[in-house]
Chains A and B, each alone.
Chain A
Amino acid sequence: MRTWSDSPFPRLVRSGDVEGYDAATVVARDNGESSVIHEAPGHPGWLVKRYKPAARIGHIALDDLIELPGQMSAGDLALVDRSIAWPVSRVVDGYRTVGTLMARADDAFTGDVALLQGRTRRQTIEVDLLANADRDIERLGLPVPTPALRLAAMREIVAVAALFERHGLVYGDWSFANAFWAPGTDRVLVIDMDTVRMGRRDHLETHNWDDPLADESRPLTTHTDRYKVALLVARTTTGLRQERGKAVERMAALYPRYPDLIALLAACVDATEPEARPRLEEILSAMDGPAATGSRIGGGRTGTGARPRSGTASAGGRQNHGVPSGANVTGTVPWRPNGGQAPKVPSSVPRPPSTPRRSTPAGPRTAGPARAPHAPRTSQRTPSAPASGASAGTPPTGPDRSRPPERTGSGCSPVWIVTVLLLIAFIAVIALRS
């Protein structure tokens, strides 16, 4: 798939240079602020999103957004390239902004959806289709994801959301419609990035995703993103599309090895003050909670969502402290669900930039070897999917919960004591001999 990093376009593109389309190259029409989205002529894999004349496009904010990945760490940039259809250029007609350019989702994000009377239709697969009960996904002819695969796909969404928060961006429109899913894998692609704004953005609400603490007269902030992402995770992992707290409740039963995650999602959904909602980086860390025992979500990606260098859970940037590290983890807000749990401590050791992930082709629709009790059919696992269900082979609680708060390197370890004693003994022996 094309990426922000390999864009061949200048930051400003004249409308005439990407003009011309026909029915075969049109991806969508009359959708939100865009009049048409079509493939850029002569540039396969790139899309032109053309705005309606009445669309309110802030060209300065859009330019800032387009430039932003160039200032990111390698880990964040890899995540941008892997999982976000980030705008690469602004399309102008004279002084007027008429559109943006962005990468097109590759074929892994399309699937043959089963229709009535034995027909199928090849279409782009939104997270909308992942966020269903297993029986409905099966009805649509898509490979039924295991609970672990659902969670891994949502981990990638949370990694993207955490990246936004880290860079001060507000997405504001998290829902089933704004990300694609590559069936049979944990790959996702977040779309509609061009309206993301720094710090805050105009209020917008989609029914069923409305933030009970958001004030319609005020701009949206990252606190609303926290709420909506929590809903998205809980609903998609459970298939309870309309529920809020009940989806989190159901998730607790489905994912007993992620008590930290459940508590953080519950805090997002139940908070009575927007500021009480945990940061997205915390949620991301909690999704990696049981990783130290060998079954990290997404095959071992680290805090920024980067892929491991190997398929083992020990690869990646996890430090000895048992806390996932990320190159841009800036800290966490202490939060104690039910008052009894130690807060997560951010790693103080930066992780070296990781390489971008390889694309993982959609697995064939064959039954996998392991079946979760509530999943009638499992998709064949891809290299990026964990090799076991979320609850297999590890104790019901995450490894971090029973530990005292981690030390950050200033303490005196037994290894050091033994080393010093040996050194003293060695010096004493030398002294006696002399």
Chain B
Amino acid sequence: MEPHSEPAAAGYTAPTGRAEQRETGRRNGLPTYLVLDTSGSMKPFEQLLNATLTEVVDTLYASPRVAEFIHLSIVSFNTRPHVVLPMTDISQLTGLPVVECQGRTQYGAMFDLLRDRIDGDIGGLQAGGVQAYRPVVFLLTDGIPSDGGTWRSSFAALRDPGWRRRPGLVSYGFGTASEAVLEEVSTLAAYIAEPGREEENKKALSRALTSVMRTLVASASAQQLQLPHEVEGYKSVPLEFADM
């Protein structure tokens, strides 16, 4: 055993040894963005969205080990994007996030906002002693982008290979979501539900949010991103490797 640096009055002083080097090391964390399409077409699901958002926040609030690893921010987007829940210490929250559905489905502004937020959020985490993994974005949408093809330049900036903090994206599509668009904006996984009527779409949204929540909890347990092999009611969208 290595000699202690000095006899402490309390009986023990942690030495500066090999094991102790980890003490001063940072803890790992996963910056996570839950991005919700809150365009007008989502209006029938507004209540469900808010109820499920509450459940997600509750899960983190009541589970310190999950909240220590998952650093969550919630972003909604329609005609404009909104930061519904900033990436703060969940235990310091005093109110619950609420979303309202209206407007159009503008992808471009949402991707721009994400790019802006990620730099600041990771800087904040680092200042708090967290060594951040590459961020992950969970995108839930029921439609296709209404900003034509202009969103692609914003997406390209978000996924800039020269930007070390570029996030990985996981998407869940339901309603009139486009498989082609999901495939284009997803880098880790994409799931799409069969288009259905309002009740089916509501069920699909609920399953998607449940899947996200389980993914967060499982990832916290494993201390790394653990994507689901399958999502009930969804089929996986095959993703192609860009460098093949």
A-side residues, CB < 8 A to B, are: 29-32, 52, 113, 115-117, 119, 121, 123, 126, 128-129, 131-132, 136, 139-140, 175-177, 206-208, 210, 212-213, 241-246, 248-249, 251-253, 256, 259, 262-263, 266-267, 269-272, 276, 337-338
Contacts and interface: CB of A to CB of B under 8 A. Distances in A.
Contact of A245 (B10, B23, B27): B23
Interface in B22-68: 22-23, 27-28, 57-58, 61-65, 68
Given A29-B214, A117-B95, A208 B223 contact: yes
Interface of B: 1-2, 4, 7-8, 10-15, 17-23, 27-28, 57-58, 61-65, 68, 91, 93-96, 214, 217-218, 221-223, 228-229
A139 B64 contact: no
Shortest Cβ-Cβ A-B pairs, 10 listed: A245-B14, A253-B10, A252-B12, A207-B223, A252-B10, A252-B11, A113-B62, A249-B14, A212-B19, A128-B65
A259 B221 contact: no
Contacts of B62: 113, 115, 121, 123, 129, 140
A258 B67 CA distance: 33
B1 A121 contact: no
Contacts, number: 123
B61 A245 contact: no
B61 A116 contact: yes
A262 B27 contact: no
A208 B22 CA distance: 9
Given A272-B1, A337-B1, A212 B13 contact: no
A210 to B, nearest CB: 7
A131 B68 CA distance: 13
Contacts of B23: 243-246
Contacts of A249: 8, 10, 12-14
A119 B58 CA distance: 10
B64 A272 contact: no
A208 B12 contact: no
Nearest to A129: B64
B11 A259 contact: yes
Contacts of B17: 245, 270, 272
A177 B65 contact: yes
Nearest to B17: A270
Contacts of A177: 65, 221
A244 B223 contact: no
Contacts of B91: 136, 139
Among B7, B10, B11, max chain A CB count under 10 A is at B11
Nearest to A53: B229
Given A175-B65, A176-B64, A244-B23, 11 more contacts: A31-B221, A52-B229, A126-B65, A210-B22, A242-B68, A251-B12, A256-B11, A266-B14, A270-B15, A270-B17, A270-B20
Contacts of B4: 338
19 contacts: A31-B218, A115-B62, A116-B61, A116-B94, A116-B95, A119-B58, A176-B65, A177-B65, A177-B221, A206-B222, A207-B27, A246-B14, A249-B13, A256-B10, A266-B14, A270-B1, A270-B15, A271-B19, A338-B4
Contact of A32 (B14, B95, B218): B218
A28 to B, nearest CB: 9
B8 A32 contact: no
Contacts of B222: 32, 206
B41 to A, nearest CB: 28
A67 to B, nearest CB: 29
Contacts of A175: 65
A245 B221 CA distance: 23
Contacts of B221: 31-32, 177, 206
Nearest to A176: B65
Contacts of B64: 128-129, 131-132, 136, 176, 241
A263 B21 CA distance: 19
A126 B217 CA distance: 14
Contacts of A115: 58, 61-62
Contacts of B18: 212, 272
B228 A206 contact: no
A388 B166 CA distance: 55
A270 B65 CA distance: 24
A119 B11 CA distance: 43
B2 to A, nearest CB: 6
B19 A270 contact: yes
Contacts of A251: 12
